Amino acid sequence: MFFRRRTLPRGPLQPVIEVFVRHCTFSSISAHKKRPAHFSKENCYRNLISTSDSRVRFTHFLDIANGGEHFLKGQAIEISEGTESGSFLRMLDHVEKQKLHPDTIVYFLEDDYVHRSGWVDVLFEAFSLNADYATLFDHRDKYMIYPKLESKIFISNSSHWRTTPSTTNTYAMRYSTLLEDFSIHRRFSVGRKVTADHNKFCFLGKKGRVLISPMPGWSTHADPEFASPCIDWEPYFEGSVLCKQ
């Protein structure tokens, strides 16, 4: 079966985004990556908090398997996995147990992203469109590596959007969608060191799920080669741009 049906709580929903952030003391899959000049994960964290508002709730996970210090020690749910896929699966299990309202927007986030102020409104807007999943990252590789990629274009109050075949393991969906697709999210992480996120979203797309990304991006991964285009992201990584635009 594609869908996993659950009995979920009903009733009035106050607009809320539940953000689940995965941090680690060391990541072997990121150690080789080029980073912006002023990149630090603490600056990414400060950017996230400062660009959020009262409609956003945070749960932080810290993978301590590889040892070392971290600025969130004692302030996050500590896990000991040592792999990206392991920490993702632990987060999935935690989120599944939360019994959130079906329409709650759940945002899975890795610890090396920065956001533009206004991203909260934009993410709410994404789910006013015909979308099952949304990313705030405008993937540069979709312009560079997929020259024949065709997309449907949407518009919300603050942004243009395009359909995209895949994204990283940082993305958002309604809680009901997550539960319906829960086995798929697990499948592409179980038995791996790194989640096969591209394959996962291609599979979801074949099942009829729609993933959209904004143009230009409202967030970016800390990878200069593939950063969301049209935005100067360096001040965000430096910390000189937080809530200011």
* Domain edges within the chain: 17-238
pLDDT for the residue numbered 6: 36
User: What torsion do the CA atoms of 232, 236, 242, 245 make, to the nearest 10 degrees?
Assistant: 0
pLDDT for the residue numbered 1: 25
Give the chain's radius of gyration (CA, Å): 17
Question: How much is the pTM?
Answer: 0.91
Higher-confidence position of 142 and 200: 200
pLDDT for the residue numbered 170: 98
At 72-128, the pLDDT tens digits run 999 999 999 999 999 999 999 999 999 999 999 999 999 999 999 999 999 999 999
Give, in words, the CATH class of 17-238.
alpha beta
At 137-183, the pLDDT tens digits run 999 989 888 878 899 999 999 999 999 999 999 999 999 999 999 99
Classify strands 133-134 and 113-115 as parallel, antiparallel or unpaired: unpaired
Look at residue 180 and give its three-state secondary structure. Answer: helix
